[in-house]
Structure 1
Amino acid sequence: MTGSTELSGRFITPIAFGTILQPLNSSMIAVALVGIRADFHAGAAVSWLVSALYLATAVAAPAMGRIADVLGPRRTSLGGLALVALASAAAPFAPDVGTLVVYRILIGIGTAAQYPCGVAMVRRAADEQDARPNNALAALAVCSQVTAALGPTLGGLLVGGLDWPGVFWVNVPLAVVGAAVILRWGPADPPSRGGGRLRALAEIDPVGMLFFAVAITAVMFWLLSLAEQPTWWWLAVAVPAVALTAWWGLRARTPFLDMRLLGKRALSFTYVRTIVTYTAFYCVFYGLPQWLEEARHLDPTSAGLVVLPVAAIGALSTLIATRLQRRHGFRAALVVGTLALCAGGLLLTLPHSTSPVLVLLGVAAMLGLPNGFNNMGNQGAMYAAAPAERMGAASGLYRTSQYVGANLAAAVLTLVLGARADDAGLHHMGLAVAGIAAVLLVASVLGLVRDRLAQR
């Protein structure tokens, strides 16, 4: 990140645009579940419309990133957008919930391609132009994470006007526009290596990809089960699958998951830190609205408006974090972010069901502050540690780390909130978030001190 100039806005816009699809699709569906359940006379099965997209994205993000490393990120991104458009156009005509879940999986695969492809395109352009990637990474951070908070609002408008199919149909014009701007302004892929695309396809390592898919799926199912009754046999599947993935990653000539890459302490530690950070983030993202509805007795729309500062301040803090990171590096952003997260967690121990809405808005604003700093810091750490030729796969694993954190958050919320969120549950959640942040803060400060000593 030592270039003298920033990447141009015309270059960044087409790359960042596609990354809004995954967070929007992960959160828009929440307001459509009631209508889908009624239309298909379904029960708890509709919850798979939420879980299926997270699972598909967690598995597909590093896979699509690896494909982008081999076939080119522009080409892979366009393929993902085409898959999103086709699956979204067909989903409203699904005959049953099972088929609708399949379409959600396809949408998850297509949207999973956008972030790793975006980071890979940024890395290639920044290296070629000797430019700083900070503004491009900030745009990706805002579009790929902060927009999740806007999903329920947009989804409510779409369901109100078009019923539940609206949350699928909206993807079609978004995907078409995304493809158009990438075709018009997106950076060209590097030329094919010797042997052409068929030889390149052989380098994707389908065996390693299969082992990884089984491993991460089993891990995610086990984590999901922790929220109710732990299903230990999923862990019995996950452990040997992880071992096979590691073994193959050391044995294959061009492995999908290069264990030597994960052997880099800086990169593997970044993934662990990201999992822990997003465990705290999703505790707030899911837990605070639940308390607002069940203890503060706000309707869903009002609860959504109260937590809106989390997204708004998160976008603003991303811009501030970009400046800080440009001058002092990603560790400085992580120190500020984890300190703010610790303060936000402690603030959650103060509100009660009778607290004024203005107080709750202030708490939500404080909870939005760490998001930009932590996202930029972890993203910057991953960018600095991963080699350029593996940037797609590395950034895909970064996304997977976020979703592992989301599932861990579900387990944490079950422990601290219980079946129904009350004031005590909120305060326990705040202490859990503050405790997680305190551990991250110590690690970030030690890393910053170590880097400063190394520079002397």
Structure 2
Amino acid sequence: MTRTHETPPKKDSNAEQSAAGPAAPELPGRFITPIAFGTVLQPLNSSMIAVALVSIRDVFDAGTSVTWLVSALYLATAVAAPAMGRIADVLGPRRTSLAGLLLVGATSAVAPFAPNVAALVVCRILIGIGTAAQYPCGVAMIRRAADRLRSRPNNALAALAVCSQVTASLGPTLGGLLVGLFGWSGVFWVNVPLTLVGAAVIIWWGPADPPAQRGRGRLAALRRVDPVGIALFAAAITALMFWLLSLADVPQWWWLAIAVPAAALTGWWSLRVRDPFLDVRLLGQRALSFTYVRTIVTYTAFYCVFYGLPQWLEETRDLGPVGAGLVVLPISAVGVVSTLLANRLQRNRSPRAALIVGTAALCVAGLLLTVPGEDSPILLLLAISAMLGVPNGFNNMGNQRAMYAVAPAERVGAASGLYRTSQYVGANLAAALLALVIGERADDVGLHRMGLSIAVLAAVLLAASLFAALRERRS
């Protein structure tokens, strides 16, 4: 499906309205539920494992190697998300999503029988690949359904954002319950029924793919996926992620020496083939490439809060894991509300409006993190947590809508996969930043430095958004 009927990228704020009409209805709920359900798997699996690491370490006498159970999933997802998105663009998002669910379910069923931590790491990589398919496939299914029904995707995109925020925040709580009932294997077992239910609802209600090709047509379609381009991109992003991970301890610059030429080869290859996996000409679109950069910076700040604040609450405020979890719970609750408000704001406005609100709130929230100390009352901490939830919904919805609006319809899967990769690049940058400003123990000084860092990042994003809005008004 071409995009000749859509508004040019410069007017990305209302791309979907140009296709569906300003008074078009929202995408029906029967499509939203199956699309959104599968996207809970990745944030759930990334956060549940945190409460199982101690048990796994004790059972296998593994020491610090258990941390690879966390890093392996992030690495696999960062590499696989755009690849699975490209496969969805070529073979169909519904089929690709179902294949990813099958991989997650089968791997999770055998993971509890792993003989050692190395085998569990392999399982986590496979789970990362399977869960990586769900977000880009979800966005691609939304795009197909919205174009076919001439509907607006606002509520569907908001559902993806809400599912991601809620499950990421509730993951440690659910994981603790599962570990308490079933041991560490519970965080793997839970994926089996979730994938079965997810597959069932997609089969029954998910938007249909085009008819499957057969014989030579199927082989031609597989060649269009561009396996060489995927391999080159995988080498580049894997080396980059390993380098970013090393920044938290001793920087390993030789990883960067691999990432840079691999990225250059990826660009060179994409200019040689007719249908590349990663079209560098697409990244030449300023609106899309800037969205990825903005997403990296935004999620650097987000993951600083996600990892740094609970650490301070446990180590300096002495609240323990349960108390820390309860104090940060308002971040999730308010994040859901702010997502719904951002969705409402964007119905007739540019994504820029949500981004301005989100980055301004993030700047204020960062400055508020410079206030508390080890004797601060719980009510103050809860109020700051609530404020930290405000920017999450606005920034997530603004960046997601900006990407959706300017990505070509035939490549929306790959584009949304790169959007997911940008988030995990931000996660690793956050780990490096926390090592720099907090160090080994999160004391009051470290928390205040983290807050100032977040405020500076938000101020840069806010200035960029205001400048872009002013330039749009003048043009």
TM-score category of the 2 structures, normalised to the smaller one: over 0.9
CA distance in structure 2 between the aligned counterparts of 1:41 and 1:196, rounded to whole angstroms: 51
Contact 2:233 2:266 in 1 (8 A): yes
Match of 2:162?
142
Determine the C-alpha separation between the residues in 2 that align with 1:159 and 1:450.
53
Partners of 2:212 and 2:101 in 1: CA distance = 22
| CA distance in structure 2 between the aligned counterparts of 1:197 and 1:356, rounded to whole angstroms | 63
Does the 8 Å contact 2:165/2:336 carry over to 1? no
Is residue 449 of structure 1 aligned with residue 447 of structure 2? no
- Structure 2 residue 452 is the aligned partner of structure 1 residue 431: yes
Please list, as runs of the form range in 1=range in 2, the aligned pairs for 1:49-68 lying within 5 A after superposition: 49-68=69-88
Could you tell me how far apart the structure 1 residues matched to 2:457 and 2:328 are? 21
Quote the Cα distance in structure 2 between the aligned partners of 1:271 and 1:249: 19
2:40, 2:335 → 1: CA distance? 15
Quick one: distance in 2 between partners of 1:51 and 1:249?
29
Q: Partner letter of residue 415 of structure 2?
A: A
Match of 1:350 in 2: 371
TM-score by length of 2: 0.94
> How many angstroms does 1:193 deviate by?
6.3
| Residue type of the alignment partner of 1:342 | C
Q: Counterpart of 2:120? A: 100
1:121 corresponds in structure 2 to 141
Of 38, 49, 56 in structure 2, the residue corresponding to residue 36 of structure 1 is: 56
C-alpha displacement at 1:191, in angstroms? 2.9
Question: TM-score, normalization: structure 1?
Answer: 0.98
Q: How much does 1:447 deviate?
A: 1.7
- 1:26 is matched with which residue? 46
1:77 partnered with 2:97: yes
1:182 aligned residue (202, 206, 216): 202
Which residue is equivalent to 2:320? 299
For residue 447 of structure 1, what is the amino acid of its counterpart?
A
User: Any gaps of 5 or more consecutive residues in structure 1?
Assistant: none
Deviations 1:160-212 (A, max 9, x none): 00000000000000000000000000000023469522210010010000000
**Which residue does 2:345 correspond to in 1?**
324
Q: Which amino acid in structure 2 is aligned with residue 7 of structure 1?
A: L
- C-alpha deviations, 1:336-355, integer Å up to 9, x for none? 00000000000000001100
1:249 correspondence with 2:270? yes
**Residue 95 of structure 2 aligns to a residue in which SS?**
helix
Alignment partner of 1:258 is 2:282: no
Identity level (%): 75
Match in the other structure for 1:88:
108
1:287 matched to which residue of 2? 308
CA distance in structure 2 between the partners assigned to 1:325 and 1:191 by the alignment: 34
CA distance in 2, matches of 1:306, 1:28: 18
Q: Does the Cα contact within 8 Å between 2:68 and 2:121 map onto a contact in 1?
A: yes
- Secondary structure at the counterpart of residue 62 of structure 2: coil
2:191 corresponds to:
171
Identify the residue that residue 7 of structure 2 maps to in structure 1.
none
1:236-285 per-residue CA deviation (whole Å, 9 max, x = no partner) reads 11111011111111111211111111111110010000000000000011
- Amino acid paired to 1:72: G
Q: Deviations over 1:17-40 (max 9, x none)?
A: 000000000000000001000111
1:256 maps to a residue whose letter is F
* Structure 1 Cα separation of the partners of residues 414 and 124 of structure 2: 22
DSSP 3-state at the match of 1:7: coil
Gaps of 5+ in 2: 1-15
Given that 1:222 and 1:231 are in contact with CA atoms closer than 8 Å, whether structure 2 keeps it comes out as yes
| Distance (Å, rounded) in 1 between the aligned partners of 2:71 and 2:430 | 14
Offset at 1:450?
A: 2.3
**Segments ≥4 residues shifted beyond 4 Å:** 192-195
On the 8 A contact 1:115/1:144 being kept in 2, the answer is: no
Matching residue within 375, 384, 398 for 1:363: 384
Q: Is the 8 A contact 1:66 1:393 kept in 2?
A: yes
Equivalents in 1 of 2:189, 2:374: separation in Å? 38
1:338 is matched with: 359
Offset from partner CA, 1:93-119 (integer Å, 9 cap, x none): 000100000000000000000000000
> More displaced, 302-311 or 390-399?
302-311
Say whether residues 1:410 and 2:431 are aligned partners: yes
The one-letter code sitting in structure 1 at the alignment partner of 2:301 is: A
Between the two proteins, the alignment pairs up a number of residues equal to: 454
Q: C-alpha deviations, 1:45-82, integer Å up to 9, x for none? A: 10000000000000000000000000000000000000
2:165–2:335: 8 Å Cα contact kept in structure 1? no
1-structure distance, mates of 2:310, 2:52: 17
Corresponding position: 1:152 with 2:165? no
The answer to whether structure 1 residue 311 and structure 2 residue 332 are counterparts is yes
- What is the RMSD of the two structures over their aligned residues, measured on CA atoms? 0.9
Look up the SS of the partner of 1:278 in the other structure: helix
CA distance in 2, matches of 1:190, 1:340: 43
